[in-house]
Structure 1
Amino acid sequence: MTMRTGRTVRDLRRENRTAVLQRLYFDGPMSRFSLGPATGLSSGSVSNVVAELVAEGLVEEAGSVDSAGGRPRTLLRVTPGSGFMIGVDVGETRVRIELFDLTLTELARTERPLAVESPHPHERYEVGVVVDHIREGVAEVLRAADVPADRLLGVGVGVPGIVAREAGEGAVVHGQTIGWDAVPFERLLRAAVDLPEEVPYWIDNGAKTLGQAEMWFGAGRGA
Structure 2
Amino acid sequence: MAGHGGRTVRDLRRESRTAVLQRLYFDGPMSRLALGSAAGLSSGSVSTVVAELIADGLVEEAGSLGADGGRPRTLVRVAADRGRLIGVDVGETRVRVELFDLAMAELARAERALPGHGSRSYDVRVVAGHILDGVAEVLEAPGAGSGELLGVGVGVPGIVEHTADGTLVHSQTIGWDAVPLEALLRDAGRLPARVPLFIDNGAKTLGQAEMWFGGGRGAHNAVVVLFGSGVGACVVTDDVEHGRAVEWGHLTVRVRGRRCRCGARGCLEAYAGAEALVARWREAGGQPPP
When the two structures are superposed, what TM-score results if normalisation uses the length of structure 1? 0.94
- From 112, 128, 131, give the equivalent of 1:131: 128
Q: Distance in 1 between matches of 2:68 and 2:46?
A: 20
Q: Distance in 2 between matches of 1:192 and 1:207?
A: 27
Paired residue for 1:208? 204
The Cα offsets for residues 159-197 of structure 1, whole Å up to 9 and x where unpaired, read as: 0111011112x2111111211111111111112252233
Paired residue for 2:159? 162
Shift of 1:5: 1.0
Paired residue for 2:174? 178
Higher percent of residues as helix: 1
Q: Secondary structure at the match of 1:121?
A: coil
Q: Secondary structure at the match of 1:5?
A: helix
Q: Which has the higher contact order (CA 8 A, sep 6+)?
A: 1
Q: Do 1:61 and 1:74's aligned partners in 2 also have CA atoms closer than 8 Å? A: yes
Q: Structure 2: which 5+ runs fail to align?
A: 220-290
The one-letter code sitting in structure 1 at the alignment partner of 2:154 is V
- Percent of residue pairs identical: 70
Shift of 1:147: 4.3
Q: Secondary structure at the match of 2:71?
A: coil
Q: Distance in 2 between matches of 1:57 and 1:215?
A: 28
Q: Do 2:107 and 2:144's aligned partners in 1 also have CA atoms closer than 8 Å? A: no
Q: Secondary structure at the match of 1:54?
A: helix
The one-letter code sitting in structure 1 at the alignment partner of 2:167 is A
The RMSD of aligned alpha carbons is 1.4
Distance 1:19 1:4, change over 3 A: closer
The Cα offsets for residues 39-69 of structure 1, whole Å up to 9 and x where unpaired, read as: 1101111011001100111000111001132
When the two structures are superposed, what TM-score results if normalisation uses the length of structure 2? 0.73
The one-letter code sitting in structure 1 at the alignment partner of 2:159 is I
Q: Give the length in aligned residue pairs.
A: 218
Alignment of 1:82-161 (within 5 A): 82-116=82-116, 118-122=117-121, 125-144=122-141, 145-147=143-145, 151-161=148-158
Paired residue for 2:216? 220
Q: Do 1:135 and 1:194's aligned partners in 2 also have CA atoms closer than 8 Å? A: yes
Q: Distance in 1 between matches of 2:193 and 2:168?
A: 18
Structure 2 residue 66 is matched with structure 1 residue 70: no
Distance 1:92 1:119, change over 3 A: closer
Q: Do 2:81 and 2:145's aligned partners in 1 also have CA atoms closer than 8 Å? A: no
